[in-house]
A and B are shown apart, each in its own frame.
Chain A
Amino acid sequence: MGLNRVIFSDSVLNDAKKIVSECMGLEDAYCKSRCPMGTDVKKYINLIAQKRYDEAIKVIREKLFLPQTLGRICAHPCEKECRRGKEFNQPLAIAALKRFVAEKADKEEFWDLKVDSDTGKKVAIIGAGPAGAQAAIDLRKRGHSVTIFDKLNVVGGMMRVGIPEYRLPRHIIDYEYSYLYKLGIEFKLGVEIGKDIKFKDLLENYDAVLIAHGAHKGNIIPIPGNTAEGVYTAVDYLKEISLTRKISKPVKKVMVIGGGDVAMDCARSSWRIGAEEVYQCSLEGFDSLPASKEEVKEAIEEGVIFNAGWGPVEILEENGKVVGIKIKKVKSIFDEKGQFNPQYEEETKVIQVDTIVMATGQLVEDITDGLIPQTSGGRYVVDKNTLATNIDKVFVAGDAAGSRIVVEAMALGRKAAISIDRFLNNKSLTEDRDFEKEWFHETKLDIPLPEDVEDIPRLSPNMRPAEERKRDFNEVDLGFTEEQAVKEASRCLKCECKLCMKECIMMNEFGSCPKEILEPLAKHGTMEPIIAYSCNGCDNCTIVCPKQLPMKNVFISSRKDFVKANNGESPIKGHAAIKMHQLLGFSKLFTIKVRGGKKNDYKDR
């Protein structure tokens, strides 16, 4: 008689459900979970370690169309999550490794040019920055015809006119953007929406519109003298340098106000257009500068003089031109209630400069003539899950919707593209959609550091000497050699749980982790008998499990349920031998009970 349907007891099902919900076997590594694009960092890093470069670049290209660009300028939130960073303050140089492998192995033949058949729908995208470009790619691949408008004559957005050339050579942007042309995306460059074409007109002529024009309005701080000639916003300053490699007015002595990465870009760019003295000041003290450590270090190497913890109070002018700046020592930045309310000491200094650059934030302009409401910093009001606006066919992505770095802008571009595609296909924007996958997320991974892990220091890529590099626009960072890259990639701890899978041999025959193996049981109440009957019951899985999940209980206790469904017998053929063995083991022929010792009054049977 065959095995009847097995009805698993509640305790077995409950244990299975607990395991499926808590097992960390399928959780993303820290690096991957922190990438808004969900790039499988661990996977490509380890392929680099094995010198499997073609495979590595393909893994990157599954998510990122501009690996060489991101390899240079990605703000790499992944590195902040890296376990080696958390444990030893030596995170993997993930971005630099990406650059290495992209330079080494990326080939146009790997570029995925498959495009779905034409849908006849037309999408307009405002802005050729990373958000607009990513959305354009995704929508074009779905068969829609896509036109990108940009007021500049070049592509790349802030990557082109914000991020300095010495960090990101422009030919790289052009090369990586050539992918968009190959896909058949149309570009209308030198066309400003709101001026050359009204936003309203776009709405009439396109089935959907994506606003991705970034945050290009610089912030001018309200201090006396701020309208004098020689005062710039960071965006204007960097844009002019990016497009012309100079500033039309003489720049000899520069004060950059701000402590973030943009301020570092302004300060360092100043050398390259011929400045003789470059200063910085910021409310934040040196140890709490928002800029990345590397940027600060490189700026110092290039001779920028820091006045971190000094706030600007007045710009000094003569004949309407900047001649200096008065700065005051900062006592505190925020008041007791946590509000921004800088307080100063008495101490002041005056620094003579002819140029002042305010790197104190960028705002989003309105290009819709008020059709889409805006909120703080000018960001448009959107549904944060779908990026939809108050107008059905209009969506927003990138910095205009709140991102702050390139890879986030791309993720919002991708998110908007998903919404637009659904909108164009008359599908719900939200149904069956896993929003968590569209952004970075918390991984549930929580595992002990393996015992034998040593603190191996991070390798730095090769930099040109400061005195040489600060006088030209050539790239400062020469990247890794192959030997360095392989060594650096080999430091990866390959973070994953699966500790039980290293202990248990049998589970490896049935899946990659307990969650995967027990999902059918937890979800549908089914399990193959051979799984349950292959467990030795040794408990090593539970011992190493950070959550002490009860795998053995499921495998061993469920046998009772199998037996019940099989007329009291094990469903396993081989267990016929056990049946015999047990009959004999209890039979008179092989058993005895006998009293020894002094025997007292007891008689043998």
Chain B
Amino acid sequence: MTIKIDKNKCYGFMAGCSLPSYSPYGVIKTIEYLNSIFPNFAVIQKCCGKPTKAIGQYELFKERFQSLQKDIDDLKIDEMIVACQSCKVTFDEASPTPTHSLWEIFPIIGLPQEVRGKAKNSDVVFTIHDSCSTRYMKELQDGIRWILEELGYKYIESKYSREKTRCCGFGGMVVPANPEVAKKVMKRRVETLDSEYVVTYCAACRSSILQGGAKAWHILDLIWGPVVYSNNLPPSDVLASPIKAWINRYKAKMGIKNALK
């Protein structure tokens, strides 16, 4: 289904939870850009409740998602844009509001002039780690490839990509339940990627890939951050430190507030 943008509608952006915990900068730059595009625009930073559901607390999840849906309704949002694949799946299941992935939206609205082709001279050849929760969402995956090409980055497809992608190890709340298994899954995921330079489009995936021993960037790092060359190190694993992550989340909240003042 192709998405039709209707500028009379109000579009809401879901900043989510792990993304602002990882990169307040990426979140803020994104909403600034979206805000310049959509005449009617709103932002929510909150968790979608996926972790609650994943551990089996279905009743509690319903309650929590309702509070989020109330925010959406309060803001009179007609359609949602999410940057997290768990959010995408959760919204599709639980929300009456039509929800799109940011990665499907970018190819429609385009990237800002100043970032297009910026990485033409980069010597890095990335590979893409697709999120397993959206393994069948081809347009969303195409969007990531489109973005890389627009930026000017080179990439190769790994054998285990798209619908064949493998879990990064983070899914299902396994890390706190069975850390040894999660660690093994992370290592194995990295072994099945065909480059040590990895692009993810999920902050939790990025953290897992780093822990698995490869170099990983979030696609928003590539859009808004400096051009990556092969001698660059990826941003550090912020999510591994709860304190830093919560500080970031708070920073993101304040940044959002400022940006949309």
Contacts and interface: CB of A to CB of B under 8 A. Distances in A.
Contacts of A594: 42-44, 256-257, 260
B177 A539 contact: no
Interface of A: 503, 505-506, 509, 530, 533-540, 543, 555-556, 558-563, 568-570, 572, 574-575, 577-578, 581-582, 584-586, 589-598, 600, 602, 604
Q: 6 closest Cβ contacts across the A-B interface?
A: A559-B56, A574-B176, A585-B47, A538-B167, A536-B171, A596-B260
A574 B54 CA distance: 14
B57 A543 contact: no
Contacts of B260: 594-596, 604
Nearest to A581: B51
Interface in B59-114: 59-60, 64, 67, 71, 74-76
A582 to B, nearest CB: 5
A581 B178 CA distance: 18
Given A570-B57, A596-B42, A597-B39, 7 more contacts: A506-B181, A534-B181, A536-B172, A585-B46, A586-B49, A591-B46, A602-B75
B249 A559 contact: no
A367 to B, nearest CB: 65
B174 A533 contact: yes
B38 interface: yes
Contacts of B31: 596
Given A560-B58, A595-B75, A535 B174 contact: yes
Interface string B141-169: 00000000000000000000001101101
A574 B171 contact: no
A536 B51 contact: no
B109 to A, nearest CB: 14
A559 B46 CA distance: 24
18 contacts: A530-B178, A533-B177, A536-B170, A537-B133, A537-B167, A538-B167, A540-B166, A543-B163, A543-B164, A555-B172, A556-B172, A559-B54, A570-B55, A578-B176, A582-B49, A586-B46, A596-B43, A597-B39
A594 B34 CA distance: 14
Nearest to A533: B177
Given A505-B181, A594-B257, A585 B58 contact: no
B interface secondary structure, majority: helix
A582 B64 contact: yes
Contacts of B54: 537, 556, 559
B173 interface: yes
A568 B63 CA distance: 13
A572 B38 contact: no
A585 B177 contact: no
Contact of B132 (A540, A556, A595): A540
Contacts of B172: 533-538, 555-556
B45 A582 contact: no
A66 B172 CA distance: 54
B259 to A, nearest CB: 8
Contact of B64 (A569, A570, A586, A596): A586
Interface residues of B, number: 61
A586 B47 contact: yes
B43 to A, nearest CB: 5
A582 B40 contact: no
A593 B177 contact: no
A535 B31 CA distance: 34
B44 A590 contact: no
B23 to A, nearest CB: 15
Contacts of B51: 578, 581-582, 585
B55 A559 contact: yes
A572 B256 CA distance: 35
Contacts of B44: 591-594
A543 B160 CA distance: 12
A593 B42 contact: yes
Interface of B: 10, 17, 31, 35, 38-47, 49, 51-52, 54-60, 64, 67, 71, 74-76, 132-133, 135, 163-164, 166-167, 169-179, 181-182, 184-185, 188, 246, 249-250, 253, 256-257, 259-260
B39 A575 contact: no
B47 A506 contact: no
B245 to A, nearest CB: 9
A539 B167 CA distance: 9
B35 A570 contact: no
Contacts of A534: 172, 174, 177-178, 181
A505 B55 contact: no
A592 B43 contact: yes
Nearest to B55: A570
Contact of B35 (A538, A543, A596, A602): A596
Contacts of A595: 41-42, 75, 260
A563 B75 contact: no
Contacts of A600: 40
A563 B57 contact: yes
Nearest to B160: A540
B177 A575 contact: yes
Contacts of B45: 590-593
A538 B166 contact: yes
A503 to B, nearest CB: 7
A592 B256 contact: yes
Contacts of A585: 17, 46-47, 51
B171 A530 contact: no
Contact of A505 (B49, B177, B188): B188
B167 to A, nearest CB: 3
Contacts of B179: 574
Contacts of A555: 172
Nearest to B253: A592
B59 A582 contact: no
Given A563-B56, A570-B56, A577 B41 contact: no
A153 to B, nearest CB: 65
Contacts of B42: 593-597, 602
Contacts of A570: 55-57
Contact of B173 (A561, A578, A604): A578
Contacts of A577: 176
A602 B44 CA distance: 15
Contact of B47 (A540, A563, A582): A582
Among B31, B170, B185: residue with most chain A CB under 10 A: B185
A188 to B, nearest CB: 64
Contacts of B170: 536
Contacts of A593: 42-46, 71, 74-75
B59 A568 contact: yes
A540 B167 contact: yes
